[in-house]
Amino acid sequence: MNLPPLDPPARILLGPGPSEASPRVLRAQALPLVGHLDPYFVQLMDETMNLLRQVFGTQNRLAIPVSGTGSAGMEAAFVNMLSPGDRVVVGVNGVFGERMCDVARRCGAQVHRVEAEWGQTLPLETIQSALRQHRPQVLALVHAETSTGALQPLEGLSEAAGETGALLLVDTVTSLGGAPVEVDRNGIDICYSGTQKCLSAPPGLAPITFSEVALARLKSRSTRVQSWYLDMSMIEKYWGGERLYHHTAPISAIYGLREALAVVLEEGLEARYLRHRRNAEMLWAGLEDLGLKLVVDRARRIPSLTTVYSPDGVAEQDIRKKLLERYGIEIGGGLGPFKGRVWRIGLMGESSTQRNILYLLAALRELL
C-alpha cells in the first residue's frame, strides 16, 4: 500500500462541465466537518437556501441542493411530480430532453414528445398545440441543451402550461448562474440545476426549487414517490423548520456550494450574465475567424456552451486529445448525431475568462 499522492494535472476546463472552481470554493471543501444537525450547519443550510433563492430568482420556500448531481435533480423533479399514468409533454431537441423522457417513463408516465432538430429550439406554438392535445400534468423543457448549445426561450411557457393546467418543469443545469433563469418571473414550477456548470462548484449537488403549487401537487399525490432518497416530502422536513433527519447531508459539498453561491452573488447576477454573454461573443467571433461554423443560430445560442462544427477532414478526437495533452485544455466532443462532427466549448462560471478564450483560440490556430 504505497499510493502516490493525489496530484491532478492543471487543466483549463472548457468542456460541457465541470467548469473550474475558484480556489475559495475548493478551500471551503477542505474545512473540518460538523454534524448534519449541528447548529452551525443548520444555520448554513438556511443561508444556502437563501442564496439559492436569489440565484434562482424565486421566493419559493423550498430551494435546496439535492444530494446528487444534476441528473439526480432531474430525477427528483420527475419522481416527485409524476405518478403512474400521468401525462407529460417533453421538449426533445437533444440528449437531455431524451433523458427526461427516459426518466418520466420509468415513473410510469405517458410521455408525449415535442421534437425539434438538434441545434434548434421548440416553437411556442408547437408546445401549445401539444399541451392542448394531451392536457398533461407536467410540461418539461430543457432551458440550455448542453448537447446542442441551443437556448430555449422561457417566455410564454408558463401561460401556455397554465392554460391547460400543466405545471412547468425546467432543466437549467447549464444556464443557472450564466444566463437569466428567473424562476418566479417566468412562472416555473419546478426548476433544477447542477453545481458544476455556471455556479462553478464541483459536481455533486443539484439545486432544485418547487413552487407552492408544485408542493401542493406533491402533497395531494395518491401514490408514494417511487424514490425514497429523492422524496421531497421527507427532504423538506430536514431543510425546513422541523430538521427531521432524512439522510446525512453531504457537508463538504454544501460548504463548497455555499461559497460558490456567495461568489456568484458578490459578482452580481446581471454582471455575471453580461460577462458570460460578452465572453461568448468573443469566442464566437474567434471561432468564425478560424473559419469554423457554429451550430446554433446566434439568437438561440447558450452563452455558456458553444457548439461548433469541427473542420471537414480533421479527426476531431485527435484535436481534442492534443488540446488536452499539449495545452491542458479540455473541450467536449459531440454526442448522438453530433458525434465526431461537433465540439462543445463551455465558458461557464470561473472558466469564462478572456484569458481562457484567447488561449484556446491560439491553441486551435496552432493545431488546425
187-216 residues in contact with a copy of itself (CB under 8 A) are 194, 196, 202-204
Q: Which is nearer to a copy of itself, 128 or 174 (CB)?
A: 174
Shortest Å distance, C-beta 158 to a copy of itself: 26
29-58 residues in contact with a copy of itself (CB under 8 A) are 29-36, 38-41, 44, 47
Residue 145 binds a copy of itself (CB under 8 A): no
105-124 residues in contact with a copy of itself (CB under 8 A) are 105-107
Q: Which is nearer to a copy of itself, 36 or 143 (CB)?
A: 36
Residues in binding contact with a copy of itself, number by CB under 8 A: 76
3-state helix, strand, coil in the chain (%, to 5): 40, 15, 40
Spatial separation of the C-alpha atoms in residues 136 and 141, rounded to whole Å = 13
Among 85, 117, 125, 228, binds a copy of itself (CB under 8 A): 228
Q: Kindly report the length of the chain.
A: 368
Q: Which window, 154-162, 211-219, 264-272, 358-366, contacts a copy of itself (CB under 8 A)?
A: 264-272
Spatial separation of the C-alpha atoms in residues 132 and 60, rounded to whole Å = 28
Among 83, 91, 99, 158, binds a copy of itself (CB under 8 A): 99
Apex 257 CA angle, 252 and 258, nearest 5: 100
Nearest to 36 by CA among 27, 25, 45: 45
Residue 178 binds a copy of itself (CB under 8 A): no
Nearest to 167 by CA among 102, 235, 220: 220
Q: Which window, 180-188, 214-222, 250-258, 337-345, contacts a copy of itself (CB under 8 A)?
A: 250-258
Residue 164 binds a copy of itself (CB under 8 A): no
Q: Which window, 128-136, 153-161, 214-222, 225-233, contacts a copy of itself (CB under 8 A)?
A: 225-233
Q: Give the three cell numbers for residue 331.
A: 473541450
Phi first, then psi: give them for residue 211, nearest 5 degrees: -75, 165
- Alpha-helix residue ranges (DSSP H) falling in 88-192: 95-106, 124-134, 157-163
